[in-house]
Amino acid sequence: MIFEVIPSIDLLDGNVVRLKRGSFDDVTVYSDNPVDTAKRWEVEGANWIHIVDLNGARDGKPLQRDIVERIAVDLTLKVQVAGGIRTIDHALEYMETSADRIVIGTIDDDLLRFAVEQLGPRLVVAVDARDREVRVSGWQRGTGENVIDACARFARAGVVRLLVTDIARDGVLEGPNVDLYREIVEAAQVPVLASGGVSSIDDLKTLAAVEGVEGAIVGKALYTGAVDLGTAMKAFVA
């Protein structure tokens, strides 16, 4: 299995941005042209791209679908989309626009069951945590559930892939929470995509050494130049 390095395009008001630890009050804008940004990552060797509609995540419904559609149609890389997908209709609409994976975070039991049935392997459940508490609604609301327990619960329900973000590490280049990912893989026994904290290719290699972690979402490290995508992709070619 090739470890996937997946660039993230976080969209806020049509711009490519990064939030620091998920705060909408601490925003850095990197580009006003998301399609060109996606083309850059494609040229540098990305197989997948992770697109987050931050407006949608905050407001509870997809609000920048047009940008996601343009990227999915214009580029050849695979698209994983997240942000504001709170109903199965939202998910199916994205599937119709060539999104290869649909990421759902805020999810109740009925939606979870239906999503597993309808989306199958195209479903990714995002489990976002701060201090090991799962947070939803664009990271704005705590649920009281432990992240390890949540991951195990989703796996029992039939979810075949999880995307786990340690919010405290997101956008600060302090290194990923490797111990947390080890615990999650052991508890859930399904593939995990890691997100938050990657600051170097060494961080990626450390994650790749964790059995069950199949890839990492990388944002700020790419935009600041701390990680060169082309070099990172070559490091994980079988």
**CATH architecture classification, 4-235:** Alpha-Beta Barrel (3.20)
> By three-state DSSP, how is residue 105 classified?
coil
> What is the Cα 19 distance to its own chain's centre?
14
Model pLDDT, residue 172: 66
Examine the residue annotation and report whether 202 is marked as an active-site residue of this protein.
no
Examine the residue annotation and report whether 110 is marked as an active-site residue of this protein.
no
Model pLDDT, residue 219: 93
- Give 55-65 pLDDT, tens digit per residue: 998 898 999 99
Nearest-angstrom CA–CA distance, 73 and 96: 11
Mutual angle of helices 34-43 and 65-74, in 10-degree steps: 30
Nearest-angstrom CA–CA distance, 60 and 139: 12
* pLDDT-flagged residues of the chain (< 50): none
Model pLDDT, residue 1: 66
* Of 10, 53, 170, 203, catalytic: 10
- Give 31-54 pLDDT, tens digit per residue: 999 999 999 999 999 999 999 999
Record the pTM: 0.92
What does the domain layout of the chain look like in residue ranges? 4-235
* Of 53, 128, 170, 203, catalytic: 128
Taking a C-beta distance cutoff of 8 angstroms, is the pair 199, 178 a contact? Answer: no
Nearest-angstrom CA–CA distance, 93 and 102: 10
Nearest to 139 by CA among 83, 188, 179: 83
